[in-house]
Amino acid sequence: MRIRVPIAIIGALMVVAASGSAAAQPLLPAPDPDPFYAAPADIADHQPGDVLAVRSMPALASFPDTDVTLIKFRSTSSEDRPIAATTTVLSPHNRRPDAPLLSLQEIINGLGAQCAISRELYTTDPNLMIREAPAWNFMLQRGWSVALPDHLGPRVAYGAARLGGQITLDGIRAVQRVPELNLEHSPVGLAGYSGGGMATAWAAAMAATYAPELHIAGAAMGGVPMNLVSMLETLGMNRHPAFGLALAAGLGLEREYPDRFPLTDQLNDRGLAIRDRLVNSCTNDILAAGAGQGALDIAKTTVMTEDPQARSVVEENSLELYSGIPNMPVFEWHSPIDGLIPVDAITDTIHRYCAAGAKVMSQLEPVPDHLTAAVLGVPSALMWLDARMRGEPAPSNC
> pLDDT digits over 225-282, tens only?
898 877 655 555 678 787 888 889 889 999 999 999 988 888 999 999 999 999 999 9
d(C-alpha 154, C-alpha 256), whole Å: 10
Tell me what pLDDT residue 298 has.
87
Per-residue model confidence (pLDDT) at position 238 = 73
pLDDT in tens, 178-202: 999 999 999 999 999 999 999 999 9
Task: Please report the pLDDT score of residue 301 as a whole number.
Answer: 67
Short-list 225, 258, 257, 302, CA closest to 10: 225
**Percent share of the chain, pLDDT over 90:** 66
Task: Find the mean pLDDT for residues 34-56.
Answer: 97
Handedness of CA 295, 298, 304, 308 (dihedral sign): negative
What pLDDT, on a 0 to 100 scale, did the predictor assign at position 310? Answer: 85
Separation CA 91–CA 350 (nearest Å): 33
What does the pLDDT read at residue 374?
87
What single-letter amino acid sits at 93? H
Residue 66: predicted pLDDT = 95
Residue 340's pLDDT is what?
73
- Facing residues of 219 across strands? 190, 330
pLDDT at residue 129 in the model:
63
Lowest mean pLDDT among 146-160, 320-334, 360-374: 360-374
Assess if CATH 1.20.1090.10 describes domain 7-227+316-389: no
Looking at residue 297, what is its pLDDT? 87
Between 15 and 207, name the one with better pLDDT.
207
Angle subtended by helix axes 308-316 and 228-235, to nearest 10: 120
What's the whole-model pTM score?
A: 0.93
- Burial grade of 366 (CB within 10 A; 0-12, 13-18, 19 or more): exposed
% pLDDT > 70, the chain:
89
Q: Per-residue pLDDT averaged across 278-289, rounded?
A: 91
Distance CA 116, CA 346 (A): 27
Coil, helix or strand for 71? strand
Query: What is residue 124's predicted lDDT score, i.e. its pLDDT?
Result: 62
C-alpha angle with apex 82: 163 to 194, nearest 5 degrees?
A: 15
| Confidence tier at 294 by pLDDT (50, 70, 90) | confident
Q: What do you get for the CA distance between the two ends of the chain, in Å? A: 30
pLDDT given at position 240: 77
> Model confidence at 373, in pLDDT bands (50, 70, 90)?
confident
Which bin fits 372, alpha (ψ -120 to 50), beta or left (φ > 0)? alpha
- At 234 the pLDDT is 58
Is a pLDDT exceeding 60 seen at residue 22? no
What does the pLDDT look like over 69-113, one tens digit per residue?
A: 999 999 999 999 999 999 999 999 999 999 999 999 998 989 999
pLDDT higher at 241 or 64 = 64
- pLDDT of 55 > 60? The answer is yes
